[in-house]
Structure 1
Amino acid sequence: MNRGKSRFSEVSGQCDRGDSVISVLHVDDECGLLEAVKLSLEDTGACIVDTAESAELAIEMFRSHPYDAIISDYAMPGTNGIDLLKQVRKEFGDIPFILYTIIPREDVLIEAINYGVTFYLQKGTEQGLQTAELVHVIDQAVTRRITEQALLESENRYRTIIENIIDVYYRTDSEGTLVFISPSVLPMLGYNSLDELLGRKTGEFWKHPSERDTLISILKEKKEIRDYEVTLLTKTGDDIQVAVSLRICINEKGEFDGVEGIIRDISERKKIEYELITKNLELEKINRELSGTLEELTSTQTALAERNQELLTREASQKRSAAALKRANKQLNLLSSITRHDILNQITALNGYLTLIRDEIRDEEVARYLDKLESVAGTIETQIAFTRVYQDLGSQEPQWLDVKNLIPHVTLSGLTIIESNLDNIRIFADPIAGKVFENLFDNTIRHGGDVSRIEITARKESGHLIITWEDNGIGIPTPEKELIFNRGYGKNTGLGLFLVREILLITGITIREIGTEQKGAIFEISVPEGGYEIEKTKGDA
């Protein structure tokens, strides 16, 4: 028997989608019909046909070499077509089986269907039409089987991946109920069976369930989250640190249909991070020494400022006080300049050592701590530059300053600055009073959140001039309204608002914050009577 190559690989069972034809075994006790059908089908070029004159021979032939499809008559001596169908289903599974018979009995059709016949085709008299129909039926049956086998193998591969994945894959419904989770969760959380987990709310496994609600809110907005660190609980109630990567599932209606994601155990990574922190004590020591140098500088500046105030108090004569103050400030500036120079030299050396260390380090975590040290050094440089700007505070005589000229005129996208009733107003203040409004602007932009409006106004109240700086940001909490003016308080240098108050106090001007949290900050500057002038215009005369 000369058969063509089967469309199913004998090794893998998958369709060979080259130019191979379909291999068919035709079973019938009429030799003439077998030969006629064989010639007709092979003449189409779609099939290679082998023939068997009995069901018993057909089984033997199939055992030696499987076929893509079987065509069988019903009424044959010995074993009939239905019995052959039973034997084929028992031994060879879902191989396409076409019952091709002249018998039109309904009971035969029903029995064939009950035993899994693929197609039932009645023999006719027009051979050409029968051949075309047979080829169509055979191709349709074989193609469907190939598709079903490919789908089954795809599902098996997917199941194998999920069942053997090290990380945990899971899926929830829209209510947060677990509908699927991979077996790798069992050793991670200490459970014995997936039945203990499926059907439960995912919030039950969170140490802090409210954090899950927060995460879901973020997820619905961003659609996808990667490596979000959370703490879960094992079956015994122990903590386990994990990183989750999640994405939103949307159904065919475009509605939220749950969440699917990956859970990774990062307990070992956290342990390594702790060990790296321990091993970097030497770098932390350098940081502490640098911090000590900065504290020494601050202490020196404070002592000099106190000495300066003492000289002012003891001097009886304003002229002698001014001269003494000028000399003290000159000394202060000189000392500050020398100290700044020395510290900057130390910072330059520190940055050099950090660069040498970075060239020798390949570990990403250690590199991250080097980044932090470089950031600390940069902060110190910024603070030293800050002291250079304010070194002349109180060293010059107060002057009459135009308020409008003190307001910073900047343009930022999305920010509107409104000035009201500031024309022709002068205040008696330290020459660097412009820094007051620069710091208020910096404070608004840096800490005010999503600020879109700043309004600066002036009015007279009980003999004082009240200058108001108001924004529509997040405001300042009540407990912090006075703390923000303390030296060292805040997220940046901690000196900005402290120096604002000090600059104003030189001429008796005060400042306070009276805004409402979540509605915006309001800084109210109160200039005492005699400390301001309002020039009348011709229209006011």
Structure 2
Amino acid sequence: MNHNQTHLLVVEDSPTQAEYIRRILQREGFIVSVASDGRAALETLDEEKIDLVISDIIMPGMGGYELCQQIKEKSHIPVVLVTQLFDPEDIIRGLASGADGFIIKPFDPVSLLDTILNMLESGEDGQIVLDGDLIITTPGEQTYTIRSDRKTILRILLSTYATAVNKNIELQETRDELYGMNEQLQEYVEELRQTNDELHQEMLERQRMEREVSDAHRKLQLMTNITRDDIRNQLTIIEGYLELAESREEEVSVEEAMERIRQASRRIGGIIEFTRDFQKIGMMDHEWLDLLSLVEGSRRMVDLMGIQVQSEIPDVEIYAEPLIERVFRVIIDNAILHGEGVSTLRITAEEENDKLIISIEDDGTGIPDTLKSRIFEQGFGKNTGLGLFLARDILAACDCAIHECGLPGRGACFQITVPKGRYRFV
């Protein structure tokens, strides 16, 4: 509907409430003026043509009843009073002051607009007509004639008002209960959220512990197999060659038997050293380690047997367990023992696609393609078969990976990939 010619006056001492009513009415196209009290409202009425007044009852200075009375003494402008609907005296005083309608607090935009439109339409098309003691009204399509006297109408009005008051009180109590229940629900939701967070943390902790237990079980099972089977095999070799040496048979010399015994002893030592290092994987704190120092430390721990080692490593640190030094020792030792004709070992480190690639290359015979996928398996190899297997697990605990990419006949090339965040240039 177009109400751009209808001028309404809102009388309200609360700026927030007045602005709320003004916005509702302006969205419907009404022209709206605002007064903060009764006296300001009378001044606006003297200066502007107002079609309807909406006034609060309780205001400082001149209240809504007195304002309504003074308006009715000098005009027929409809006045709608805003009431809390707490006491039947409200409606009596409102009627006595000449009010044309009431709006009940708290109200919603629909009820506010319905009341105002009813007031305006009843004044335009004569929905209520007085004919002596008769009241003729047309609230809809049907016309009704009311013959009740004023006393009866007032009694019915007060009865209806009392019922409305009781319903409003019940609604208020229900709303308060709903607010209370909502607060309890919010508390329950918060408790559930906290409980869920605690359960999530417990689940993560449980998963971590399960992984640790599973890893510990794997390590224990592996070390048990190694110490039981491999050491037993080496002891069998030692006992066999001791018997051969004591029998003084010409098939095996004492010197050859002693060399085989020493080799078996070294293998037992390597197995014991492996179990010591293997059980430490994942148990040590990570720290920033200088890559060149790790490589140089590994070189000093290995008998190079005349092999030249060339290091082309920039000033870079990697975030890993100190046990990672063993990885470089294993790869260097692997090249020396199994490279066949290795004369030079070259170690480099370069950044590629936000990753640090550490390459360890030799100029030996290389590794056949058919064996590349097996060299990191437990037990594969000419000695204990534990070196590269250990190196792979140490690197995995440091979020790193290793693979062999050399060309058969041109030498082996082991590449260690260090992800972003696990290395830094200094």
Report the TM-score range of the alignment, normalised by the length of the smaller protein.
Answer: 0.3 to 0.5
Normalised by the size of structure 1, how large is the TM-score?
0.34
> Which has the greater radius of gyration?
2
Normalised by the size of structure 2, how large is the TM-score?
0.43
Structure with higher RCO (Cα < 8 A, 6+ apart): 2
